[in-house]
Amino acid sequence: MTSAAPASAGLTTPSAPMPASYRRYALGLLVAIYTVNFLDRQIVTILIPDIKAELKLSDSEVGAMAGLWFAILYTTLGIPIARLADRGDRPLIMTVSLAVWSGFTLLAGLAQNFLMLAVSRAGVGVGEAGCTPTAHSLLSEYFPKESRARALAIYSMGISIGSLLGMALGGIIAANWGWRVAFFVAGAPGLILAVMSAISLVEPRRVSKDAAAQARAAARANQIPLGTVLRVLFTKPTFWCFAFGGAFAASVSYSHSFFLAGYFTYTQGQGLADAAAFYGIGGKNPGIAYLGLGLGFSAGIGGVIGSWIGGWWCDKIGAKDLRQFATLPLLFPFIGLPVFWYVAQMQDMVLAMILMIIPNIGVAIWYGPVYGGVPGLVPPAMRATAAAILLFVINMIGLGGGPMLFGIASDAFANWHLAQTGTDLTVTACKSVAQDSPLFMTCATNQIEGLRNTIYWSTSVHIFSFIAFACSILFIRKDMES
């Protein structure tokens, strides 16, 4: 096999064994860091209705700001940072990345227009690019093969917990103190965790203090070229099946996370107010506060359940038959889709947020199989780079393309509905319509219809994720190395 020689070279840097107690601590800290990662990334989702109203953004601009600008820097920088992680000081990379994205989250609260907000979100992408490839590389060395998928699935729970906290805290803070304060609050915890990361995360490559410099020099000299990693990955169809399966699934979940809060705000104002009253939620805007809590808890609970089930399934069932890695991500999204379609037209927002747990299980159930499976497809010295390439595909398509195309489709549907009114109104023209104008309601009603159409039609993308995950069944037994 063409990768054998460089792979062995890349393994000349030995890794010190990690005690079980430290593995548990490190996993907990990395979960906390990933939680903050997604808190800072996802808090914008519940703030979009307020940001959109104040800065007068279209759905296309929302998709570009929240998805594309972030994804371009997040994905393109992920690969060179992962290359650095394959040979450098991974705790230091994690610490610097954490401080950078937390700082840019704070700056988002100062944005005065679309460009400033987009630049701040892109800056968050710059910092977060160093998080997951580095964490995947560390955890793949901290944990043995037999518990790796579960460890990476637990790490992926940070997505769900961070989404929960981002939407819940964001909704409460925005409802009472405004969306800018929400960004300030979200950015602060990362700076504390950056200090903890710098102090306590251990680099497994450091056999001893005296050998650290020699080990780093050997790693730099023997680092596997990016072209070699890509050549190895191109001989692994399973990698691309997993990458595209995750990408298409993520494109739906990211799009819905950015636009569902606005959809429910525009269509179910009374239902949200009634749900807030049911739970005794007060404040200046109790409906928004409840929506943040409801969406956050459904995403958090469903995501944690999905992540755990996916990791457990791979470690227990997938260990006996590698083809089982694809079973849950292949089937479960289609179990959750009818529930999601039903929720999208419900008026009872109490029951709606409870039922949303079911499709959110499907959102996260592929994390364990994909993130836990990919490290086993390549030699250890390639794992951080392979993780970065995986994230490049998933996030460029899922995060960069998904919300942007969703926003474009929403505006296109809205323009189609507006054309039926016999006016010259378009989404762009509606930005200039005053709230006291008789045309304002025409604009609002037809833009909501465009958003409704897109929410339903976007779920058809799951067909592509089904095909991709089904494809992996044909190759995974041949492709898996360790």
Residue 4: predicted pLDDT: 35
**pLDDT tens sequence across 219-260:** 555 567 888 888 999 999 999 999 999 999 999 998 998 899
In a domain, 4, yes or no: no
CATH assignment at residue 444: 1.20.1250.20
Question: Burial level of 202, CB count in 10 A (0-12/13-18/19+)?
Answer: middle
**Number of Cβ within a 10 Å radius of residue 88:** 19
Which residue type does 449 have?
A: E
Residue 246: predicted pLDDT: 94
Distance CA 297, CA 17 (A): 37
- Any idea of the CA torsion for 175, 296, 367, 474, to the nearest 10 degrees? -100
Alpha helices in 64-178, H assignment, sequence order: 69-85, 90-108, 114-128, 132-142, 145-177
Residue 8: predicted pLDDT: 35
SS3 2: coil
In a domain, 294, yes or no: yes
The whole domain housing 310 covers: 19-198+224-479
Q: Name which of 258, 303, 296, 245 is nearest 70 in CA terms.
A: 258
Question: Burial level of 1, CB count in 10 A (0-12/13-18/19+)?
Answer: exposed
In a domain, 218, yes or no: no
Token readout for 390 is 């995986």
In a domain, 250, yes or no: yes
Place of tokens 């999204």: 333
In a domain, 61, yes or no: yes
In a domain, 212, yes or no: no
In a domain, 3, yes or no: no
Series of mean pLDDT values for 10-residue runs along the chain (482 residues): 35 54 90 90 85 85 80 79 79 90 89 85 82 84 80 83 86 89 90 90 67 54 76 93 94 89 90 92 86 88 87 84 88 86 93 94 88 86 82 88 91 94 90 88 93 94 93 91 72
Question: What is the average pLDDT score of the chain?
Answer: 85
Question: How many domains would you assign to the chain?
Answer: 1
In a domain, 328, yes or no: yes
> How far lies 113's CA from each of 62, 108, 142, in Å?
12, 10, 44
Note the residue count of the chain: 482
Distance CA 464, CA 477 (A): 22
